[in-house]
Every structure is written in structure tokens, then in C-alpha cells.
Amino acid sequence: MSRRIVAEYGVNSPTATFSTRSNYYASTKSGIASKRVGNHSNDIVTYFHDEEVGNFHYGERHPMKPHRLTLTNHLVISYNLHKKMEVFQPRKATEEEIMSFHAADYIDFLKRVTPENMNSFSKVFSRYNVGDDCPVFDGMFEFCKIYSGASIDAARKLTNGSTDIAVNWSGGLHHAKRVEASGFCYVNDIVLGIFELLRRFPRVLYVDIDIHHGDGVQEAFYTTDRVMTVSFHKYNGDFFPQTGDIDEIGSGLGKYYSLNVPLKDGIDDDSYIYLFKSVMEAVINSFRPSAIVLQCGADSLGCDRLGCFNLSIKAHGECVRFIKDFKLPLLVLGGGGYTIRNVARCWAYETSILVDQEVSNDLPYNEYIDYFAPDYKLHPHLSGKLENMNTRAYIQNLRIKILDHLRYLNGAPSVQMQEIPPDIQGFLEMNDEEEAELLADSSAGKEQKEKERGRRPDNEWYENDQDNDADMDIEG
Ligand SMILES: [Zn+2]
């Protein structure tokens, strides 16, 4: 039993606007979410990528490699998918924004600790859970500000109605808690993004397809009915983070608004897709979210260095397509994923789904093409390498229990009855001036500057890219 992801594998160690919002029920006239019909390639898709984010290193033998973000971005560009999106260099999150969720002392620690001075902080390492899984590395807090700023900016593009889908592959760090790091995550950008969405949207649905339980997000919203969290993950009581059993359902006002789908090793495409679609369709029709956040952790793919599922990239992407087709404002985030060539393939493929662009199975040439040898395909054979321990009876039983659980939701809660979670109260109390200021130097301001400068040239990301990390993964 441990609080480490790696250990168990021994791998190298303002509220008034809510109901008046014009697209309050964007999905259908009746207000019930339903599947999008026909070809809707008119969605505005906004993509956030920071050119530096892939250059951070957790440490040589650490499985979390931000370089996967550089690989992903190069595939996105070489498939020309950036031409179908609004592309932004995100702003870094401010400390104030980060502290809208995280404790000030914890953030002060993240800000001050460095590999050089860490010995003088060793007394608080256990309090903040910093060490093996979550090491102190060069630029750690900068890294956090970059991926969190992108999620906050992405959420703002959705709240101000200037995009339909916002993508930040560097985000999705779902394990971080208010006062501690966990599972390679220091700052919980998902919680920060959802706080932003709650300023406008009455109900936000969080969906997590990482192989690990989305514990940090569930915990943050465990007692509210404004955010429903749904996590599909491996669970056996021991697998990191050791939470996410089906009986974790939320409490107080949030009772029944946390949903967990505990799975066993080796789940295959058919079982996963069947369960995902039947559960998510029921959730969306019961909860009637006004926006969705989808965490696309790619460690649920077959052959992941830390994972133990059997999913293909097509199946993982099918979950993304299914959620997109509900045509609700959608924030798409990354997450886990430790066989980095497959993470990049997966998120590039999912980007193609979000922009409705079919892409060739032959990977286009790009400067990192060697990572994808020997097949150079978008869809390598990843499944079938582990026995599926989820029997048909297990899946059916799970589905029945979950659908039964959803009956308690009794339709969507009334907006008027909503209690604003205490955590975000302070954030919402910002006066108009402060808000205007914040917006001006954030996405809106940035956007204006981008417009003034014109769109970034296609090849800009190729320049100044000094990251030659050829640290290839170990096949999981
Ligand atoms: Zn994970």
C-alpha cells in the first residue's frame, strides 16, 4: 500500500446570469441533452499550447515526461489540424488564481522550493507529499503556472462564449489536492478550470477516462450538486490512488453527484465503450450539464508504461467523440499517459476528432518521427496484450448499479436552489473592476494581442525547440 503511482509497478523507481444565459440549454430546445445529429463541423475549437511546456523534466527516470506535449503538438501541426483551430499561447496562471483552490502555505512552498535549496524544506515534504512521485524539479512552479493558466484561459473562452470546444493537452492533473501534491500533480488545473466555468454555467459535468481515479477533482466537489464527477478507472483498493469504489457517491448536497466506475485489469475496447456510452448517456440526461470537462488521460491505453488496460487509440477517441456529440461547451484536457509515443498519437487523433477532420493512419513527417518507429502509424496495435478480467457479468452488474444510482438524481437540480460552494465564494466576490482587469491581462487581452500580431506562423513551434530528449519509454 502506498501513496505512489510508480511504486506498485516497480518501474524505475456570478450567478444572476445563469438561467438567463442564451445557450443555457445549448443542446436542444427541450433542455434535455441529446446526441448531435448530422455533420456539425462548424464548432469553433480553440487550442492552447505553450511552446515551453514540453521542456520541463521531472527527472531522468521519472515516468511523467512533459516532452510528450511537444510530440503531441508536432503531430497536430504535421496533420495540419492547427489550421482548423484558433491557436493560443496561454498565459501563466497567477498565484491568486491558483490559491482560489490551493492553500496559501502550500503554494508558497511550491513557489520557493528548488532543487538547490530543497534540503532546507525537507521537514515539510511529507506534509505536502513531495518526494518520489512528485519530485522537486527545476521550474516546477513555472510548469504548474503554465498548464494551469492554459486550463483557466480555456475555460474562460467557454464562459465568454467565444469557443465551443477548448483544448489543453498540458492540463488534466487530476490528483493534486488543496494542500498537497499527489500522483505527479502539484496544482489541480481541472478544479481551477471548473471554478471558472461555474461563474457562468449552472452545472458542470466532469468526466475522467484516465486509468487512475480522478480523486482530486472528486474531493474538491464532493459536497456540491453543481459539479458532477464521473470517473472510469482501475480499482482494486490498492491501485493508486486507492480510492474510487462504487460506494463513493458524494455527501451533503453532493450526494449522488460523484459517480465511480471501478474496473479491473485488461478491459477491452468493446466493454469499455459499451459501459462508457450507456453510463454517460444516462448521466447527461439526468444531470443536464451546461458544460462538460473531459479529462483524457492516455494511461488507459494498452501498452502504457504504468497502465493495465487494453484500450486502442480508436476506442479512447470514441469516448471523446461521444461526449463531443452532445454539443455542449466542452473543455478537453490531457492527464496521465506514460508511453509517450502513444500519448502523442492518442491526443493528436482526439484533436482530429474535435475538429472533424479525418486523418491518415500514416503519420506525416515531422522532426520527431523517429519516436514512432517501426510502424510510423497513428493507430499501432495496442490491445489484446492483457487478459480482460472484467467479465460480461461484472460489466452488466456495474451498469445496473450505476443506472440505479442515477435514479436518485431525480432530474437536474433547480438553479435557484444552488448553493455556491464555499471554496469559490471568494473568487466570485471579485468586483467588476477586478474582473475586467483580470480578463484584460488574460485570455481576452492575449487574444487581442494575437489578433494584432496576426496568427502565429505554422512553423513557429519548430524554432527554438532545444528539447532533444530521446529518452524512449519502456514498453509497459
Ligand atoms: Zn493516470
pLDDT tens-digit series, residues 100-129: 999 999 999 999 999 999 999 999 999 999
Residue 35: inside a domain: no
Q: How is residue 352 written as a grid cell? A: 482530429
Residue 79 has pLDDT above 50, yes or no: yes
pLDDT of residue 159: 98
- Digit-coded pLDDT (tens) for 64-73: 999 999 999 9
Ligand 1 centroid – CA 337 distance (Å):
7
pLDDT of residue 384: 75
CA distance 336 to 306: 9
Task: Identify the bridge partners of residue 377 per DSSP, sorted by sequence position.
Answer: 362
Better-scored residue on pLDDT, 463 or 166: 166
CA distance 96 to 187: 13
- Digit-coded pLDDT (tens) for 126-137: 999 999 899 999
Ligand 1 centroid – CA 126 distance (Å):
22
Residue 300: closest CA among 265, 260, 259: 265
pLDDT of residue 385: 81
**Mean pLDDT calculated for residue range 415-423:** 44
Exposed (0-12), middle (13-18) or buried (19+): which is 54, by Cβ within 10 Å? Answer: buried
Q: How is residue 229 written as a grid cell? A: 464527477
Residue 49: inside a domain: yes
In this prediction, residue 4 has a pLDDT band, given cuts at 50, 70 and 90, of: low
Residue 123: inside a domain: yes
- Digit-coded pLDDT (tens) for 336-367: 999 999 999 999 999 999 999 999 999 999 99
CA distance 303 to 326: 30
Question: Do 388 and 266 form a contact (C-beta atoms < 8 A)?
Answer: yes
Cα dihedral 70, 72, 73, 76, rounded to 10, equals 160
CA distance 284 to 26: 13
- Digit-coded pLDDT (tens) for 264-300: 999 999 999 999 999 999 999 999 999 999 999 999 9
Question: Do 89 and 446 form a contact (C-beta atoms < 8 A)?
Answer: yes
pLDDT of residue 5: 63
- Digit-coded pLDDT (tens) for 226-274: 999 999 999 999 999 999 999 999 999 999 999 999 999 999 999 999 9
- Cite the annotated binding site by residue number: 133, 183, 210, 212, 299, 338
CA distance 361 to 211: 25
Amino acid at 435: E
Q: Please list the alpha-helical segments (H only) found in 114-202.
A: 140-159, 189-198
CA distance 404 to 400: 6
CA distance 234 to 269: 15
The secondary structure of the chain in percent helix, strand, coil, rounded to multiples of 5, reads 40, 10, 50
Ligand 1 centroid – CA 50 distance (Å):
22
Ligand 1 centroid – CA 3 distance (Å):
13
Residue 176: inside a domain: yes
In this prediction, residue 410 has a pLDDT band, given cuts at 50, 70 and 90, of: low
Q: Residues with Cβ < 8 Å from 391, sequence gap 6 or more?
A: none
In this prediction, residue 6 has a pLDDT band, given cuts at 50, 70 and 90, of: low
- Cite the annotated binding site for a divalent metal cation by residue number: 210, 212, 299
Residue 341 lies in domain: 43-462
> Edge-to-edge strands of the sheet including 86-88?
86-88, 45-48, 165-168, 330-333, 291-295, 204-208, 227-234, 258-263
Ligand 1 centroid – CA 6 distance (Å):
11
pLDDT of residue 409: 84
- Cite the annotated binding site for substrate by residue number: 133, 183, 338
The pairing of beta strand 227-234 with beta strand 330-333: unpaired
Residue 27: inside a domain: no
Q: How is residue 420 written as a grid cell? A: 455556491
Residue 17: inside a domain: no
Residue 195: closest CA among 427, 434, 464, 412: 427
The domain total for the chain is: 1
Q: Tell me the catalytic residues.
A: 175
Residue 472: inside a domain: no
Exposed (0-12), middle (13-18) or buried (19+): which is 470, by Cβ within 10 Å? Answer: exposed
For residue 410, which phi and psi values (nearest 5 degrees)? 55, 45
In this prediction, residue 459 has a pLDDT band, given cuts at 50, 70 and 90, of: very low
Ligand 1 centroid – CA 335 distance (Å):
6
Task: Identify the bridge partners of residue 258 per DSSP, sorted by sequence position.
Answer: 229
Ligand 1 centroid – CA 245 distance (Å):
16
Residue 311 has pLDDT above 50, yes or no: yes
Residue 387: inside a domain: yes
Residue 353 burial (CB count, 10 A): 19
Ligand 1 centroid – CA 83 distance (Å):
30
Q: How is residue 178 written as a grid cell? A: 488543496
Q: How is residue 409 written as a grid cell? A: 438524481
- CATH number assigned to the domain comprising residue 175: 3.40.800.20
- CA triplet 347, 353, 356: central angle to 5 degrees? 145
Ligand 1 centroid – CA 172 distance (Å):
10
